[in-house]
Amino acid sequence: MQIDRILIRYGEISTKGRNRNKFIKRLQQNISDACSDLSPFRIESGRDRMHLELNHPEEAQQVMERLELIFGIQSFSPVVKSGRELEEVKQHAVQLVQSVASEGTLFKVRARRADKNYPLDTNELNYEIGSHVLRQVPGLKVEMKKPEVELTVEVRSEAVYLSAQTIQGAGGMPIGSGNKAVLMLSGGLDSPVAGYQMMKRGVELEAVHFFSPPFTSEKSKEKVMQLASELAGFSGSVKLHIVPFTKIQQTIHQQVPENYTMTSTRRLMLRIADEIKKKTGSKAIVTGESLGQVASQTLESMEAINAVTNTPVLRPLIASDKTDIIEIAKKIGTFETSILPYEDCCTIFTPAAPKTRPKTEKVAFYESFIDFDEMIRQSVEEIETIILKPGYKPDDVEDTDLF
Protein backbone atom coordinates (compact mmCIF):
# COMPACT_ATOMS: atom_id res chain seq x y z
CA MET A 1 0.00 0.00 0.00
CA GLN A 2 1.57 3.27 -1.09
CA ILE A 3 1.42 5.99 1.56
CA ASP A 4 1.32 9.40 -0.14
CA ARG A 5 0.95 11.69 2.85
CA ILE A 6 0.67 11.67 6.63
CA LEU A 7 -1.99 13.53 8.59
CA ILE A 8 -0.63 14.89 11.91
CA ARG A 9 -2.87 15.97 14.83
CA TYR A 10 -1.48 18.48 17.34
CA GLY A 11 -3.15 17.75 20.67
CA GLU A 12 -2.14 20.31 23.33
CA ILE A 13 -0.98 22.90 20.77
CA SER A 14 -4.61 23.22 19.69
CA THR A 15 -5.48 24.71 23.09
CA LYS A 16 -3.11 27.64 22.61
CA GLY A 17 -4.51 31.04 21.78
CA ARG A 18 -2.86 33.77 19.74
CA ASN A 19 0.57 32.12 20.07
CA ARG A 20 -0.56 28.90 18.41
CA ASN A 21 1.26 29.65 15.15
CA LYS A 22 4.60 29.89 16.98
CA PHE A 23 4.12 26.40 18.41
CA ILE A 24 3.06 25.05 15.02
CA LYS A 25 6.12 26.54 13.32
CA ARG A 26 8.38 25.01 15.98
CA LEU A 27 6.77 21.60 15.49
CA GLN A 28 7.16 21.91 11.74
CA GLN A 29 10.85 22.73 12.16
CA ASN A 30 11.37 19.81 14.58
CA ILE A 31 9.79 17.39 12.09
CA SER A 32 12.02 18.71 9.29
CA ASP A 33 15.12 18.38 11.50
CA ALA A 34 14.25 14.83 12.56
CA CYS A 35 13.92 13.78 8.91
CA SER A 36 16.76 15.89 7.51
CA ASP A 37 18.65 12.82 6.23
CA LEU A 38 15.61 11.61 4.24
CA SER A 39 14.20 12.96 0.98
CA PRO A 40 12.57 16.42 1.21
CA PHE A 41 8.80 16.56 1.69
CA ARG A 42 6.21 19.35 1.75
CA ILE A 43 4.48 20.33 4.99
CA GLU A 44 1.14 22.11 4.97
CA SER A 45 0.08 23.43 8.40
CA GLY A 46 -3.45 24.27 9.48
CA ARG A 47 -5.14 25.32 12.70
CA ASP A 48 -5.64 21.83 14.17
CA ARG A 49 -3.64 19.52 11.95
CA MET A 50 -0.69 19.26 9.61
CA HIS A 51 -0.31 17.40 6.32
CA LEU A 52 3.05 15.96 5.37
CA GLU A 53 3.17 15.23 1.63
CA LEU A 54 5.84 12.66 0.73
CA ASN A 55 7.85 12.97 -2.46
CA HIS A 56 9.18 9.44 -1.94
CA PRO A 57 6.42 7.18 -0.52
CA GLU A 58 8.93 4.34 -0.02
CA GLU A 59 10.29 6.33 2.95
CA ALA A 60 6.88 6.49 4.68
CA GLN A 61 7.73 3.88 7.32
CA GLN A 62 10.97 5.66 8.28
CA VAL A 63 9.17 8.99 8.55
CA MET A 64 6.42 7.51 10.74
CA GLU A 65 8.93 5.86 13.10
CA ARG A 66 10.49 9.28 13.70
CA LEU A 67 7.14 11.04 14.11
CA GLU A 68 6.32 8.70 17.02
CA LEU A 69 9.15 10.31 19.07
CA ILE A 70 8.46 13.97 18.31
CA PHE A 71 6.84 15.91 21.15
CA GLY A 72 3.84 18.02 20.18
CA ILE A 73 2.21 15.31 18.06
CA GLN A 74 -0.89 13.75 19.62
CA SER A 75 -1.47 11.21 16.82
CA PHE A 76 -0.99 10.73 13.10
CA SER A 77 -2.44 8.70 10.25
CA PRO A 78 -0.89 7.38 7.05
CA VAL A 79 -2.97 8.56 4.07
CA VAL A 80 -3.47 7.08 0.61
CA LYS A 81 -4.23 9.33 -2.36
CA SER A 82 -6.82 8.14 -4.89
CA GLY A 83 -8.31 9.45 -8.12
CA ARG A 84 -11.84 10.87 -7.86
CA GLU A 85 -13.59 8.07 -9.75
CA LEU A 86 -15.76 6.09 -7.35
CA GLU A 87 -14.50 2.70 -8.52
CA GLU A 88 -10.90 3.73 -7.88
CA VAL A 89 -11.83 5.04 -4.43
CA LYS A 90 -13.54 1.71 -3.61
CA GLN A 91 -10.47 -0.23 -4.73
CA HIS A 92 -8.16 1.80 -2.47
CA ALA A 93 -10.63 1.52 0.41
CA VAL A 94 -10.61 -2.29 0.25
CA GLN A 95 -6.80 -2.47 0.13
CA LEU A 96 -6.47 -0.05 3.03
CA VAL A 97 -8.95 -1.86 5.30
CA GLN A 98 -7.42 -5.24 4.45
CA SER A 99 -4.03 -3.95 5.61
CA VAL A 100 -5.25 -3.15 9.15
CA ALA A 101 -8.35 -5.32 9.82
CA SER A 102 -8.74 -8.94 10.89
CA GLU A 103 -11.62 -11.38 11.42
CA GLY A 104 -14.35 -9.73 13.52
CA THR A 105 -12.96 -6.17 13.33
CA LEU A 106 -15.53 -3.47 14.15
CA PHE A 107 -15.63 -1.09 11.18
CA LYS A 108 -17.08 2.25 10.09
CA VAL A 109 -16.77 4.65 7.14
CA ARG A 110 -16.67 8.40 7.72
CA ALA A 111 -16.76 10.49 4.54
CA ARG A 112 -16.23 14.23 4.27
CA ARG A 113 -16.56 16.45 1.21
CA ALA A 114 -14.30 19.49 0.99
CA ASP A 115 -15.44 19.65 -2.66
CA LYS A 116 -19.21 20.11 -2.52
CA ASN A 117 -19.52 19.57 -6.28
CA TYR A 118 -18.70 15.86 -6.02
CA PRO A 119 -21.62 13.88 -7.53
CA LEU A 120 -22.30 11.86 -4.32
CA ASP A 121 -23.14 13.43 -0.98
CA THR A 122 -21.68 12.28 2.35
CA ASN A 123 -24.36 9.68 3.13
CA GLU A 124 -24.16 8.22 -0.37
CA LEU A 125 -20.37 7.96 -0.11
CA ASN A 126 -20.62 6.21 3.26
CA TYR A 127 -23.10 3.70 1.86
CA GLU A 128 -21.33 3.03 -1.48
CA ILE A 129 -17.85 2.61 0.00
CA GLY A 130 -18.95 0.87 3.22
CA SER A 131 -21.11 -1.75 1.48
CA HIS A 132 -18.36 -2.44 -1.07
CA VAL A 133 -15.71 -2.95 1.63
CA LEU A 134 -18.04 -5.23 3.61
CA ARG A 135 -18.55 -7.41 0.53
CA GLN A 136 -14.84 -7.60 -0.29
CA VAL A 137 -13.31 -8.01 3.19
CA PRO A 138 -14.77 -11.06 4.99
CA GLY A 139 -15.54 -10.97 8.72
CA LEU A 140 -15.97 -7.21 9.22
CA LYS A 141 -18.75 -5.98 11.50
CA VAL A 142 -20.30 -2.51 11.32
CA GLU A 143 -20.01 -0.44 14.52
CA MET A 144 -20.98 3.23 14.42
CA LYS A 145 -20.12 4.32 18.01
CA LYS A 146 -16.83 2.59 18.88
CA PRO A 147 -15.28 1.16 15.72
CA GLU A 148 -11.84 -0.47 15.85
CA VAL A 149 -11.14 0.69 12.30
CA GLU A 150 -12.57 3.96 11.04
CA LEU A 151 -12.04 4.46 7.32
CA THR A 152 -11.99 8.19 6.65
CA VAL A 153 -12.62 9.40 3.11
CA GLU A 154 -11.94 13.05 2.34
CA VAL A 155 -13.01 14.32 -1.07
CA ARG A 156 -11.09 17.29 -2.40
CA SER A 157 -11.09 18.96 -5.80
CA GLU A 158 -7.77 17.41 -6.85
CA ALA A 159 -8.12 13.89 -5.35
CA VAL A 160 -9.70 11.70 -2.68
CA TYR A 161 -7.67 10.90 0.46
CA LEU A 162 -8.25 7.78 2.57
CA SER A 163 -6.88 6.61 5.91
CA ALA A 164 -7.76 3.75 8.26
CA GLN A 165 -5.15 3.86 11.02
CA THR A 166 -4.42 6.23 13.92
CA ILE A 167 -0.97 5.98 15.50
CA GLN A 168 -0.40 7.48 18.94
CA GLY A 169 2.22 10.25 19.11
CA ALA A 170 4.47 11.32 22.00
CA GLY A 171 2.14 14.16 23.09
CA GLY A 172 3.52 17.12 25.05
CA MET A 173 4.89 20.32 23.52
CA PRO A 174 7.43 20.83 20.70
CA ILE A 175 11.00 20.90 21.98
CA GLY A 176 12.29 24.47 21.98
CA SER A 177 8.89 26.04 22.60
CA GLY A 178 9.67 26.04 26.36
CA ASN A 179 13.11 27.70 26.02
CA LYS A 180 16.34 25.98 27.14
CA ALA A 181 17.72 24.46 30.37
CA VAL A 182 20.85 22.71 31.63
CA LEU A 183 20.38 19.04 32.62
CA MET A 184 22.74 17.61 35.26
CA LEU A 185 23.23 14.17 33.70
CA SER A 186 24.78 11.38 35.77
CA GLY A 187 25.07 7.74 34.74
CA GLY A 188 22.10 6.66 36.88
CA LEU A 189 18.44 5.98 36.23
CA ASP A 190 16.95 9.27 37.35
CA SER A 191 18.54 12.14 35.44
CA PRO A 192 17.82 10.78 31.91
CA VAL A 193 14.17 10.34 32.91
CA ALA A 194 14.10 13.90 34.31
CA GLY A 195 15.54 15.13 31.00
CA TYR A 196 12.88 13.25 29.06
CA GLN A 197 10.11 14.76 31.21
CA MET A 198 11.38 18.28 30.59
CA MET A 199 11.80 17.73 26.84
CA LYS A 200 8.20 16.55 26.74
CA ARG A 201 7.20 19.96 28.11
CA GLY A 202 9.01 21.66 25.23
CA VAL A 203 12.34 22.43 26.92
CA GLU A 204 15.53 22.16 24.89
CA LEU A 205 18.37 20.65 26.96
CA GLU A 206 22.12 20.97 27.17
CA ALA A 207 23.51 18.19 29.38
CA VAL A 208 26.31 18.58 31.95
CA HIS A 209 28.30 15.64 33.30
CA PHE A 210 30.96 15.74 36.03
CA PHE A 211 33.96 13.54 35.28
CA SER A 212 36.63 12.59 37.86
CA PRO A 213 39.44 10.56 36.30
CA PRO A 214 41.22 8.39 37.33
CA PHE A 215 38.54 7.66 39.96
CA THR A 216 35.95 7.38 37.20
CA SER A 217 36.80 5.51 34.01
CA GLU A 218 36.42 6.18 30.30
CA LYS A 219 33.71 3.50 30.35
CA SER A 220 31.62 5.63 32.71
CA LYS A 221 32.10 8.62 30.40
CA GLU A 222 31.00 6.57 27.39
CA LYS A 223 27.97 5.41 29.35
CA VAL A 224 26.83 9.02 29.82
CA MET A 225 27.48 9.79 26.16
CA GLN A 226 25.29 6.81 25.31
CA LEU A 227 22.53 8.16 27.59
CA ALA A 228 22.78 11.59 25.95
CA SER A 229 22.50 9.88 22.57
CA GLU A 230 19.36 8.05 23.71
CA LEU A 231 17.81 11.36 24.79
CA ALA A 232 18.80 12.78 21.41
CA GLY A 233 16.33 10.32 19.90
CA PHE A 234 13.61 12.72 21.06
CA SER A 235 15.27 15.97 20.00
CA GLY A 236 17.61 15.15 17.09
CA SER A 237 20.78 15.94 19.03
CA VAL A 238 21.99 16.78 22.56
CA LYS A 239 25.00 18.94 23.41
CA LEU A 240 26.95 17.38 26.29
CA HIS A 241 29.40 19.37 28.45
CA ILE A 242 31.87 17.12 30.31
CA VAL A 243 33.32 18.96 33.32
CA PRO A 244 36.72 17.92 34.78
CA PHE A 245 35.85 17.57 38.46
CA THR A 246 38.72 15.60 40.02
CA LYS A 247 40.57 18.50 41.60
CA ILE A 248 37.45 19.99 43.18
CA GLN A 249 36.27 16.64 44.46
CA GLN A 250 39.65 15.81 46.01
CA THR A 251 39.80 19.23 47.67
CA ILE A 252 36.35 18.77 49.18
CA HIS A 253 37.35 15.34 50.43
CA GLN A 254 40.49 16.74 52.08
CA GLN A 255 39.13 20.03 53.52
CA VAL A 256 35.46 19.54 54.40
CA PRO A 257 34.32 17.34 57.32
CA GLU A 258 33.40 13.93 55.98
CA ASN A 259 29.70 14.04 56.83
CA TYR A 260 29.36 17.32 54.87
CA THR A 261 31.30 16.29 51.75
CA MET A 262 28.17 15.11 49.89
CA THR A 263 26.40 18.43 50.51
CA SER A 264 29.46 20.43 49.48
CA THR A 265 29.99 18.31 46.34
CA ARG A 266 26.41 18.98 45.22
CA ARG A 267 26.79 22.69 45.91
CA LEU A 268 29.93 22.90 43.76
CA MET A 269 28.26 20.96 40.98
CA LEU A 270 25.34 23.36 41.05
CA ARG A 271 27.66 26.37 40.94
CA ILE A 272 29.38 24.99 37.83
CA ALA A 273 26.04 24.14 36.21
CA ASP A 274 25.02 27.73 36.92
CA GLU A 275 28.07 29.04 35.06
CA ILE A 276 27.25 26.81 32.08
CA LYS A 277 23.64 27.96 32.22
CA LYS A 278 24.80 31.59 31.86
CA LYS A 279 27.12 30.82 28.95
CA THR A 280 24.51 28.82 27.04
CA GLY A 281 21.63 31.27 27.53
CA SER A 282 19.62 28.66 29.43
CA LYS A 283 16.90 29.66 31.88
CA ALA A 284 16.99 26.86 34.47
CA ILE A 285 18.86 23.83 35.81
CA VAL A 286 17.22 20.38 35.73
CA THR A 287 18.12 17.56 38.13
CA GLY A 288 16.89 13.99 38.62
CA GLU A 289 16.34 14.37 42.35
CA SER A 290 13.52 12.48 44.04
CA LEU A 291 12.55 13.47 47.57
CA GLY A 292 14.03 11.20 50.26
CA GLN A 293 15.82 8.89 47.85
CA VAL A 294 19.36 9.56 49.22
CA ALA A 295 20.94 11.83 51.84
CA SER A 296 21.38 14.74 49.43
CA GLN A 297 17.69 14.63 48.48
CA THR A 298 16.06 15.57 51.77
CA LEU A 299 14.39 18.97 51.97
CA GLU A 300 17.12 20.19 54.34
CA SER A 301 19.83 19.07 51.90
CA MET A 302 18.09 20.70 48.96
CA GLU A 303 17.80 23.94 50.91
CA ALA A 304 21.56 23.93 51.67
CA ILE A 305 22.43 23.03 48.06
CA ASN A 306 20.06 25.56 46.50
CA ALA A 307 21.59 28.36 48.58
CA VAL A 308 24.44 28.76 46.07
CA THR A 309 22.23 29.97 43.21
CA ASN A 310 19.19 32.07 42.36
CA THR A 311 18.61 30.09 39.17
CA PRO A 312 15.39 28.02 39.12
CA VAL A 313 16.28 24.37 39.84
CA LEU A 314 13.65 22.12 38.27
CA ARG A 315 13.11 18.63 39.73
CA PRO A 316 10.47 16.89 37.61
CA LEU A 317 10.87 13.60 39.54
CA ILE A 318 10.61 15.09 43.03
CA ALA A 319 7.39 13.19 43.89
CA SER A 320 8.12 10.02 41.88
CA ASP A 321 9.07 6.73 43.49
CA LYS A 322 11.73 4.43 42.04
CA THR A 323 9.20 2.09 40.45
CA ASP A 324 7.68 4.97 38.47
CA ILE A 325 11.12 6.11 37.34
CA ILE A 326 12.17 2.62 36.25
CA GLU A 327 8.98 2.21 34.22
CA ILE A 328 9.63 5.44 32.32
CA ALA A 329 13.32 4.55 31.84
CA LYS A 330 12.27 1.27 30.22
CA LYS A 331 9.70 3.05 28.06
CA ILE A 332 12.17 5.63 26.71
CA GLY A 333 15.03 3.14 26.25
CA THR A 334 17.56 4.42 28.83
CA PHE A 335 17.10 1.67 31.44
CA GLU A 336 19.59 -0.87 30.06
CA THR A 337 22.33 1.77 29.73
CA SER A 338 21.67 3.27 33.17
CA ILE A 339 22.12 -0.05 34.99
CA LEU A 340 25.58 -0.70 33.49
CA PRO A 341 27.93 -1.07 36.49
CA TYR A 342 30.31 1.85 35.85
CA GLU A 343 30.95 4.28 38.69
CA ASP A 344 30.42 8.02 38.40
CA CYS A 345 31.58 10.96 40.51
CA CYS A 346 28.46 10.71 42.70
CA THR A 347 29.44 7.21 43.85
CA ILE A 348 33.10 7.84 44.69
CA PHE A 349 34.29 9.43 47.93
CA THR A 350 30.87 8.61 49.40
CA PRO A 351 30.93 9.27 53.18
CA ALA A 352 29.85 6.49 55.52
CA ALA A 353 27.30 8.73 57.27
CA PRO A 354 26.38 11.77 55.15
CA LYS A 355 24.37 14.56 56.76
CA THR A 356 20.68 14.25 55.97
CA ARG A 357 19.89 17.57 57.69
CA PRO A 358 22.87 19.78 56.87
CA LYS A 359 23.05 23.40 58.05
CA THR A 360 23.58 25.91 55.25
CA GLU A 361 25.73 28.18 57.41
CA LYS A 362 27.97 25.28 58.46
CA VAL A 363 28.69 24.04 54.94
CA ALA A 364 29.30 27.62 53.79
CA PHE A 365 31.77 28.03 56.68
CA TYR A 366 33.66 24.84 55.75
CA GLU A 367 33.91 25.98 52.12
CA SER A 368 35.09 29.48 53.06
CA PHE A 369 38.68 28.28 53.65
CA ILE A 370 39.13 27.28 50.00
CA ASP A 371 39.25 29.42 46.84
CA PHE A 372 36.57 27.48 44.97
CA ASP A 373 35.89 30.43 42.62
CA GLU A 374 39.23 29.92 40.91
CA MET A 375 38.79 26.14 40.75
CA ILE A 376 35.33 26.56 39.21
CA ARG A 377 36.74 28.98 36.64
CA GLN A 378 39.44 26.47 35.66
CA SER A 379 36.97 23.58 35.39
CA VAL A 380 34.64 25.61 33.17
CA GLU A 381 37.56 26.62 30.93
CA GLU A 382 38.56 22.95 30.50
CA ILE A 383 35.11 21.62 29.67
CA GLU A 384 34.93 19.15 26.78
CA THR A 385 31.80 19.73 24.71
CA ILE A 386 30.46 17.20 22.23
CA ILE A 387 27.26 16.79 20.24
CA LEU A 388 25.51 13.44 20.54
CA LYS A 389 23.01 12.20 18.00
CA PRO A 390 20.76 9.12 18.04
CA GLY A 391 22.59 5.83 17.52
CA TYR A 392 25.86 6.98 19.12
CA LYS A 393 28.98 4.90 18.58
CA PRO A 394 32.40 5.96 19.95
CA ASP A 395 33.70 6.83 16.45
CA ASP A 396 30.73 9.14 15.80
CA VAL A 397 31.72 11.78 18.34
CA GLU A 398 31.60 15.31 16.95
CA ASP A 399 33.74 17.88 18.77
CA THR A 400 32.45 21.43 18.87
CA ASP A 401 33.25 24.81 20.36
CA LEU A 402 32.60 25.05 24.09
CA PHE A 403 29.85 27.66 23.90
Residue 288 marked as a ligand binder: yes
Contact 270, 313 (CB under 8 A): yes
- Specify the pairing of strand 160-163 against strand 149-155: antiparallel
Backbone angles phi, psi at 308, to 5 degrees: -90, -5
**335 annotated as a binding-site residue:** no
Burial environment of residue 375 by CB neighbours within 10 A (0 to 12, 13 to 18, 19 or more): middle
Task: Give the Cα separation of 93 and 98 in Å (integer).
Answer: 9
Write the CB contacts of 194 (distance below 8 Å, at least 6 apart in sequence).
183, 286, 287, 288, 289, 315, 316, 317
Q: Say if residue 86 carries a ligand binding annotation.
A: no
Is 297 annotated to bind a ligand? Reply is yes
184 is in an annotated binding site: yes
List, as residue ranges, the binding site for ATP: 184-185, 209-210, 266, 288, 297
- Residue stretches of the annotated binding site: 184-185, 209-210, 266, 288, 297
